[in-house]
Amino acid sequence: MLTQELKNRADQLGYIDVTENNPTDLKKEITRLKEEKNAVFLAHYYQDAEIQDLADFVGDSLALAQKAADTDADIILFAGVHFMAETAKIINPEKKVILPDFKAGCSLAEAAPAKEFSEFVKQHPDHTVVTYINSSAEVKAYTDITVTSTNALKIINSLPEDEKIIFAPDRNLGKYIMKETGRDMLLWDGACVVHEAFALEKIVDLHKENPHAKIIAHPESEMPLLKVASFVGSTAALLRFVQEDEGDAYIVATEAGILHKMREAVPHKNLIPAPSKEDNTCACSECHFMKMNTLEKVYNCLQYEYPEVNVEEDIRVKAIGSIERMFELS
């Protein structure tokens, strides 16, 4: 039972902090609770392996949004970050959406505060506002079209060539889109700390040690890295590439969580995480926010159906249009 005291503590910490009397087999209990409560368990590729293995569906931002739109579950348990759970709630206002750690945020979403972004949009009333899905519900409310790294090129190319475009919040993805499409866009100055953490010199040195390995990178990375990459694509596209490509070794420049699914898909191939600027134990770049979710937090979240993600109805109504437009153009 979710007591007021437990709720207040969860609001302070960001998650349900209960360890006493928790089952020893968390995976079994999570599976039981899912069935009992008619809950669907969605997880992003960047989650820890044990969470990915237990989820009903694992995907990138676009696939997860599509899955959330199609579910007939009563509860959506979202192992990802806050904007992803918000997106699910925008799409499914009648469903309960819960997030294991409410404070699992996103540097990109935080880079575009709603008040400043709304003022920026008002200063350019003749521009179509295209916003990366890594943004808050409030920012989506000022957006004409939401995009993901999977569909951004297709959607930008679908717009008239003379259409003026604001692209937010990721300047790196924006620069990549401009390079690939030849479009001139007005960019918001935000970035993903995970993808900006890659050390180009270390990656080049690593490639010298592994000359047959292809460098593959997410378009949230900085342009110098993208220029040396053999393939640039969304998380799902990178996963598909290592499966379909004839090569046998890859230096993977995106959040290290994707390596779990890659190694499952191509266990015979050599998958090398791209190193970050900071020397760390994994010799890779990890998202601190994604790793805030744990199996125990997942269990408590589902057991108590909290923390719950809600979006004010007036914001939701404004934001849903940009997501529906994305689905139409995808």
> Average pLDDT of the chain?
96
Same-domain status, 203 and 54: no
**What is the C-alpha R_g of the chain?**
20
Same-domain status, 171 and 231: no
Q: How far is CA 297 from the centre of its chain?
A: 19
Same-domain status, 122 and 174: yes
Is 283's pLDDT higher than 70? Answer: no
Q: Is 61 annotated as a binding residue?
A: yes
Q: Is 288 annotated as a binding residue?
A: no
Is 29's pLDDT higher than 70? Answer: yes
What's the number of CA atoms in the CB half-sphere (13 Å) around residue 164? 6
Sign of the CA dihedral running 106, 107, 108, 113: positive
Measured CA to CA, the distance from residue 119 to residue 115 in angstroms comes to 6
Q: Is 220 annotated as a binding residue?
A: yes
Q: Is 136 annotated as a binding residue?
A: no
Can you give the pLDDT at residue 22?
A: 82
* Per-residue model confidence as pLDDT tens digits over 53-111: 999 999 999 899 999 999 999 999 999 999 999 999 999 999 999 999 999 999 999 99
* Per-residue model confidence as pLDDT tens digits over 199-247: 999 999 999 999 999 999 999 999 999 999 999 999 999 999 999 999 9
More confidently predicted of 279 and 88? 88
Q: Is 133 annotated as a binding residue?
A: yes
Q: Which residue has the tokens 């960047």?
A: 46
Same-domain status, 199 and 261: yes
Same-domain status, 129 and 84: no
CATH at residue 166: 3.40.50.10800
Same-domain status, 260 and 198: yes
Angle between helices 258-265 and 235-244 (to 10 degrees): 20
Same-domain status, 280 and 260: yes
Q: Is 287 annotated as a binding residue?
A: yes
- Cis before residue 224, ω within 30 degrees of 0? no
Q: Is 267 annotated as a binding residue?
A: no
3-state secondary structure of 59: strand
Closest CA to 226 of 249, 247, 256, 196: 196
Record the tokens describing residue 52, joined without a space: 């990915």
pLDDT band at 280 (very low <50, low <70, confident <90, very high): confident
Q: Is 218 annotated as a binding residue?
A: yes
Q: What is the DSSP string of 163-175?
A: --EEEESBHHHHH
The boundaries of the domain holding residue 18 are 4-104+290-311
Record the tokens describing residue 142, joined without a space: 């000022």
Same-domain status, 93 and 165: no
pTM of the entire structure?
0.94
Q: Is 282 annotated as a binding residue?
A: no
Same-domain status, 136 and 166: yes
Same-domain status, 81 and 166: no
- Count structural domains, the chain: 3
Q: How far is CA 193 from the centre of its chain?
A: 13
Same-domain status, 211 and 276: yes
* Per-residue model confidence as pLDDT tens digits over 297-309: 999 999 999 999 9
